[in-house]
Every structure is written in C-alpha cells, then in structure tokens.
Chain A
Amino acid sequence: MTWYNRAKPPLGKGEKRGVPEGLFIKCEGCGEMIYAGEFEAAWRVCKKCGKHHILPGRRRIGLLLDEGTFVESDASVQAVDVLKFRDTKRYRDRIKAAQKESGEADAIICGSGRLNGWEVELAAFEFGFMGGSMGVVVGEKIARAGERAVVRKCPLIIVSCSGGARMQEGTFSLMQMAKTAVVIEEMRDAKLPYISVLAHPTAGGVTASFAMLGDVIIAEPDALICFAGPRVIEQTIRQKLPEGFQRSEFLLEHGFVDLISKRSDLKKNIAALIGHMSANIPPENRPPQQ
C-alpha cells in the first residue's frame, strides 16, 4: 500500500537541523529560487506560486501550537523488527538511517499543547522518516493520543503526511489501520472533536483509516490525497490520469473534504472549528478568557 517513493531526499530534515542559512531553495512549484530563511519563515510556502512544500513534523507543531506549550508524549516508543525484514537493505538499518536523517524516533510526533488557548492532543507526521509510513509505532502513538484526548476531554488533531502503511512491518502495519479506527470510534463515542488535516501527500492505509474519519477534514492546497497512488492506477487502467486528479480541490469537488485551508490560515481555522464543537470540553481545556 505504500507506493510513495521519493527519488531525492526530503527537503526538510527536522527542525533541529533545518536548512543551513544563506542557502537558496528551489520552489517545487514554480522553480523560483527562494532564500532559505524566508522560505522557513513562510512555513515552506512559496510566496510566488503558493506551493505548499512538505513541512517537518516539529515545524508543524510550531505552526499550530502556542509557543512554549508543547509537551511531547511517547517519545521513546520505537519500532521492533519482528519479521526481521530484509529487502535490498535490512529494515533495522533503514530505521537507524531514518532516525539519523530525520532526528526523530519514528514517523510521527505526538503530544499536547495549547492552540489559540485550547488544550489539544496533536499528532504530526514526519515525512522525512521513511516517507511518513505507518507501522506499529505510528499506530500506537496515534491510538494513545486519541485515548489521552478521551481521558482529558480535549480535541484531537492529526496532521497526516504519509505514503501509507509501512511494508517492512508486513501485516502488523496493516493492522494499525484498524487500531487507529478503533480509537477514533472511541473519540466519537465520547463526543469529542477530531480534526483531520491532510497535507501533501496522504496516501494508502493512512487515508483509508483515521485520516478520512475526521469530524472535520481539512486539506492543504494541492495536496495529493488518495487510496491507490496515481502510478498504481495508471498501471492498472493503462491510461494517463487527468490533471488535478486526487488533489485537494478534486476531493473537495467530490465531497470528501470539508474545506481547503492555506497553511497560514490553518491554526485560525482549527481554533474556530474547535469552538463550535466544544460542547463537551471542560473549562480547564478552554482558552482562559472564555
């Protein structure tokens, strides 16, 4: 189910490393050379063409949460290579390399913090870690984030950015689709808001589980959002896909996302929606002035 296969290393390598100052970044949309500092300050959105580049998980947290409020959870949960999987490389070595490259333990970062004053549980994918693929660690951390949200009575926000299930964990990774869906169902049972944000790209087993189950689903502009990847479909039907197929605007048109939000408006939009869906949120999890 993981189809997304990068030809070149990811642009972002985590906040810790960032982009060295003084460098220029070439926009993936219009080809414009952008000064790295400016690019980062604009949350990796091109000022000229509006292209939303992949944002590392830690920066996503910086974008959405009030400064200094983030408390990370489950940072030490790590993958176990139960199947002793080996393709052209050993899975164990791939994990080590991905940890080194991304600076993260696995493909997701979870924790709590305030979003315009609202206490939330937040899970943000790290695409730089094996294409944001979902294995047991990602499934487990999402499940725990949802369970904490239920216990603490606060909203859950998941920002997806993932190629899908992680093949190297075989059927274990497939089962994470069911595991996460079970916990989202518990969120529904508790009548607490779950907002699913879809960033480019969101595919395969991630789309086909918690990502499509949000009370509200928000997509970033021009994000690829799909079950089967475009290449798989092209191979199956033996024809080229139309322009814009499986992009955010296409999903909006077909009724599968609630709204498209620019990255600069994302925090504001989420906060407003939480306000409307906050009937069961206790005072301690609300903004102080309310």
Chain B
Amino acid sequence: MTIAFLDFEKRILELENKLDELRSLSKLQDADFSSEIRKMRKKLKQVKMETFSRLSRWQKTQLARHPARPYAIDYIKELAPDFVELQGDRLFGVGPSIVAGFGTMESRSVMFIGIQKGRDIKEKMYRNFGMPHPEGYRKALRLMKLAEKFSKPVVTLLDTPGAYPGIGAEERGQAEAVARNLMEMAALRVPIVCVITGEGGSGGALALGVGNRVLMFEHSVYSVISPEGCAAILWKDQSKVEEAAEALALTSRDLLENKIIDEIVREPVGGAHRNPMLAAHVLKRVLRRTLGELSALSPEEIVGQRRKKFRDMGVFFEQLQEK
C-alpha cells in the first residue's frame, strides 16, 4: 500500500518502517529486540515532536491539505453515527461539495454542515474538490433555518480551497449566496459552532464560518487568499509561496493570537491523518463542552454574542477629536 506523504514526513515514515521491521524480526527470530524497539520508539516520538513543533507556515498549509487528512464525512460518522444526509437547495440543485443533515451527538440533536473534498478521484470530481457552487451554500442556509425552526444547534466543518470560480457559479450568484449566508448566520437564533478542519479558503469558508465559536484544528489554515494566489498577485511570482504563507499569518496559532478564532483543537502528533479516530474523539470532547456552554444562553444572547464578536473584528488607529 502506498501512503501519500509530504517531504517533511519522510524521516518519520522511515523510522516507522524500521520499527515495523524490528518488530517482525523479533517475532520471526527468537531473539530479544525489546531494548532496540524501545529506543526506536523513543527516537520516533522525539523526531515527530521536533518536526511538528517547527513547521513553517507553508508546511502547515501542506499539512492542512494532506490527501490523507480526515474529511467532513469521516468526522461526522464518528460524531453522530446516525447522521441522516439532507440534500438540495430547493432552488436549483444538490450542491454536492457540502454535506449536511441531522445527527445525534451524545443524545444531542445537531445540524451538521461540512465541506467535503472527496477521497478518491471519483468522489473528488463529484464533490468538485471541496469547492462549493452557490447551491451548496443555499442548501446549507436552508438547513440552518431548519435547525433554527426546531431550536437545534449548528456545527459546521470547514475544509475548502474556496468557493468555486466558474461560469455557472458566477451566473447563479456565488457572491450573493456567500453574502446572504453571512447576513443570515449573523441573525440565526440557535448556537453555531464552526470548525476549520483543514483549509479555510477565504469567503468560501467564511460563508459557513459566522459562528458563536470558531475553532481551528491545530494544523489547519484560514486565509483571505491562498499562498499561491497571493504570491501570483503581490509578488507576481508563483514560486514565492513560502514568503506569501509567512506574510499571511494563516495558522491556527496566528489566528488565535490575533483573536480571530476562539480555540485550537489539538491534533494527534504528526497530524489528524495519523490517527483520525483520536482526532474525532478530541473534537467530540471540545464540541460537547462548547455546545454545553452555548445551550445555557437565550436566543437573544446567542444572536447578540455572535453579532458583537464579528462586529468588533480588526484593529485600527483613530485620532480622537475633542468636541
């Protein structure tokens, strides 16, 4: 089996392979390799810690896009095994880049809305590589309103390169669909928790990102533009992606420091794809606590808190004048 891996994961994979060899050797031969195995495991852990505590912003971006990374459906299945998908925007189409529906998470009924990139090539095509058309955003809005009607919280799982830039998407009002979601989410009378699980691609992610709480997985990114796009426009040089990623300050830590997000969801060492079950388990714990906190608020408080949170985004300078 071939597993996709990134450059900086290479050394870890090599060590893991050696460890496997040692283990099978010790089974085959009747020799004791236990001290070597112990040493090797210690080394592996150390290398993992070192590698992942020192990633550049561009490497984090690659990790956020890792092809083996868990996607929305992987998380939803773990969070709510009884998930029922609901489809269609009742206007034009299905919007398959977005997966949405009710599910029960620990006896709590929740509206899950996730952007799904697709695992194999067939699913990727069907999901449009996680780049939603307007129908996806309109379906999501329809279902958020449904959740509101029955006083159920909304959890969004965001992982997208961005809203799709295509002819049909523009014809059918991509900008209007994104804008409407921003406004309607601001007014929704039930709790909304948004989780960036991989790539938070600009307006395409924000269109489902106006929450009472906004969380980011440790190795996810959230940005106004991709490093590639930024390099092409500002540097006029596609190769300047590392510089662009650094400048954009798009990591979970950057955004927590800048008070744009509320919390970082820790990932298993080496990234969520190294242990998707554990990643989902950690997410479930965080969601349980967060939804618990928000369930204590009245609908007015929910709307008020969300409005204020987004109203106050950003820092500026102002010369105060005496009157």
Do A and B bind? yes
A interface list, Cβ under 8 A from B: 1-3, 5, 74, 76-80, 82-83, 85-88, 135-137, 139-140, 143, 165, 167-179, 181-186, 188-189, 204-205, 207-213, 225-228, 232-233, 236-237, 241, 245-246, 254-256
* Contact of B53 with A by CB under 8 A: no
Q: Are A76 and B314 in contact (CB under 8 A)?
A: no
CB distance from B39 to the nearest CB of A (A): 43
- CB neighbours (8 Å) of B166 from chain A are 228, 233, 236-237
Q: Contact check: which of A2, A172, A189 meets B225 at CB < 8 Å?
A: A2
Task: State how many angstroms separate the Cβ of B302 from the closest Cβ of chain A.
Answer: 14
Evaluate whether A136 and B315 lie within 8 angstroms (CB atoms) in the complex, with A178-B310, A182-B186, A208-B178 already known. yes
Of all chain A residues, which has the CB nearest B307?
A182
Interface centre among A139, A140, A171 (most CB of B within 10 A): A171
Say whether A226 contacts B183, CB under 8 Å.
no
| A245 CB contacts on chain B under 8 angstroms | 167, 170
With a cutoff of 8 Å between Cβ atoms, the chain A residues found around residue B244 in the complex are 87
| Chain A residues within an 8 Å CB radius of B171 | 254
Q: Of B176, B180, B236, B315, which is in contact with the most chain A CB atoms at under 10 Å from its CB?
A: B176
B243 CB to nearest A CB, Å: 8
**Which residues of B have CB within 8 Å of A174?**
202-203, 206, 222-224
Within 8 A of A (CB), among B300-314: 307, 310-314
Q: Are B225 and A209 in contact (CB under 8 A)?
A: no
Is B143 located at the chain interface by the 8 A CB criterion? no
Given A174-B202, A175-B313; A181-B250 close (CB under 8 Å): no
Measured CA separation A211–B173 after assembly (Å): 12
Q: Is B47 an interface residue (CB 8 A)?
A: no
A172 to B203, CA, bound (A): 12
Alpha-carbon separation in the docked complex, A80 to B244 (Å): 19
5 A-B residue pairs with CB within 8 Å: A78-B317, A79-B316, A184-B183, A205-B224, A236-B166
State whether B222 touches A171 (Cβ < 8 A): yes
The reply on B187 being an interface residue by CB < 8 A is yes
B163 interface residue (CB < 8 Å to A): yes
Min C-beta distance of B16 to chain A, whole Å: 35
Q: Are B258 and A171 interface neighbours, CB within 8 A?
A: yes
Stretch at the interface among B76-84, B227-235, B263-271: B227-235
Tell me whether B179 and A212 are in contact (CB under 8 A): yes
Contact A80 B315 (CB under 8 A): yes
Q: Are B258 and A172 neighbours in the complex by a CB distance under 8 Å? A: yes
Neighbouring A residues of B315 by C-beta, 8 Å:
80, 82, 136, 172
| Docked CA distance A170–B248 (Å) | 5
B318 touches A76 (CB 8 A): yes
What residues of chain A lie closer than 8 Å to B255, measured between beta carbons? 171
Residues of B within 8 A of A86 (CB): 247
Write out the residue numbers on chain A whose beta carbons fall within 8 Å of the beta carbon of B222: 171, 174
CB of B13 within 8 Å of the partner chain? no
Q: Are B223 and A181 in contact (CB under 8 A)?
A: no
Contact A82/B183 with A170-B250, A174-B223 known, Cβ cut-off 8 Å: no
Whether a CB of chain A sits under 8 angstroms from the CB of B19 is no
Chain A residue contacts of B229, Cβ below 8 A: 232
A109 to chain B, nearest CB (A): 16
Q: Is the CB of A256 within 8 A of B314?
A: no
Given that A88-B234, A173-B224 are contacting pairs, would A182 and B175 also be in contact in the complex, using a CB cutoff of 8 Å?
no
A140 to B317 alpha-carbon distance, docked (Å): 11
Q: Is the CB of B247 within 8 A of A175?
A: no
Closest chain B residue to A187 by CB distance? Answer: B183
Q: Are A185 and B187 in contact (CB under 8 A)?
A: yes
